[in-house]
Every structure is written in C-alpha cells, then in structure tokens.
Amino acid sequence: MRAALIQLTSSDLPDENIGLVRESMREAVAGGADLILTPEVTNCLSPSRVRQNEVLKEEADDPTLAALRQEAASLGVWLLIGSLGLKTSDPDGRFANRSFLIGPGGAIAARYDKIHMFDVEISETETFRESDGYRPGTRAVVAPTPFGTMGLAICYDLRFPHLFRALAHAGAEILTVPAAFSPVTGAAHWEPLLRARAIENGCYVLAPAQCGLHPAAEGRPRRTHGHSLAVSPWGEVLADGGEAPGIVYVDLDREEVVRARARVPSIFHDRDFEGP
C-alpha cells in the first residue's frame, strides 16, 4: 500500500485551501497513492479567534469536509483529513479540532477529536492556549482499513505515550499524527517523538505536517515546522517532507509490523504495578 503525505501551508481562507488540497490529492493518486493524508487544521490555520469564528462552520455545513469527501469518492482513494477546525454546540463557543478518515466511496469511516490541548509558553514571545478556543475530545479512536488498523491522534497528542499504547493495544498498526508543530519544538522534539511512538508500539507512524509562514487576514502570521514524516515500525525514517509544501510517498507493508513486534515484543509485556 502506498501512502501520500500532503504538506501544506494553509491560510485562513478555507475556500483557497480546498483548491490546493484537491489538486494535491489528484497528484497523489497519479503517484500511486492508496491512502492520502493531510495535516492538522487543513481548512484554516489562523492565530485569530475572531477570524476562526468568521470562517469556521459546523461539521454538517463545512465546505472543506464536503469537498474532500467528494474528491476522495471521485478518485476512489482512502483519505485522512488530518483535522478541521469546526464550530460545535459547546455552550462556551469553543471549536473542535477533528480528524476524519474517509473511505474510497466518500463515507466517513471514523472521527477523532484531539484530546490534548496545546497550552504552553515556549518563550516570552510564543505562547499558545489552544483550550481557550478548542474543546478537548474524550475518546480514543481506531479504525479498520484494508491496509491495516489505524489509530488516530493529532499534533500535541504525540507527547502522551499512554494514548498511543492504548491505540496499539486496541489493534492499531498505523498511527496517524497530523500536525502544525511550532518551529522551536519541532526542531527539538518532532522526529524523536515520532520515532519513539513507532518503536514503542511496533507501528508505522504517518505524520503529515503544516509548513512555512501562513498568510493571515487577521493577527500575526504563524510559522510551522514542516517535515512531514513517515516512520517504520522499527523506528526508521522512511520519508521526510522537508520545509516546503509538497507530497512525500511511502510504501507500507503490514508484515513489517509483525516482524518488528516479533523482534522486540514489548507491546505484549506490559504489566500492572503498584506505587509509587
């Protein structure tokens, strides 16, 4: 099975982003992809809650979801929409950061709402409070596909290994981590964390990423790390998208999961313990 990781520089104009993703999906299929993956907040990357409130929609009315489902059906391909920012019925008006797995007929096969919110102060000039605008999800999600069971995660979830262990114990062979990583934390932690999650669980890790400087109609433009990565169950980096928009391809073999877990079967050796 061939996967294509689309690396984007999404703006805060959802209609513009739709066209870019559809074009990339067609290119990916021409490159032999059976599964296409897009980054976190594919529809709108904006530093402004005001702007988000102007352009984001509820799931039933979201034009990006509708367009990409249609495109997946037209191309007959599986699609992981890394995530979409969506309005919700949350009483305090917070959005959802929701990943969608779309089948080749265009139907939604799975949904996952990001559980861990990026509330950090990286420096005096770079602070994030994702939970101010987004509500956290509460449920881990795995989904069967013809090329293996997928376990869904998003960006900051990467720092919580117990989530990935739970996904692996639930049958996941492929872990997806679409992201919009900060350049500072990305340079220091992105690759080591992705490789660790792959090694710990004997899983493929597919991590499509946002990259570059993101145009913004409101607020200071944000920059993201890029480097979409595909990692083998043994922890080898199979593909790296670099720092510019584009597509990277990786061929997956489920037997590699079996082989990695046979060589170091730590996933089968978890034990309950007391303390500390």
* Residues labelled as active-site residues: 40, 114, 155
What are the distances in angstroms from CA 109 to CA 78, 81, 99? 10, 11, 11
Cross-strand partners of 97:
85
Q: CA 228 to CA 135: how far, in whole Å?
A: 26
Cα angle 163-165-171, degrees, rounded to a multiple of 5: 110
22 burial class (0-12, 13-18, 19+ CB within 10 angstroms)?
middle
Three-state DSSP class for residue 206:
strand
Three-state DSSP class for residue 107:
coil
What are the distances in angstroms from CA 72 to CA 5, 8, 136? 15, 18, 28
Q: CA 104 to CA 71: how far, in whole Å?
A: 9
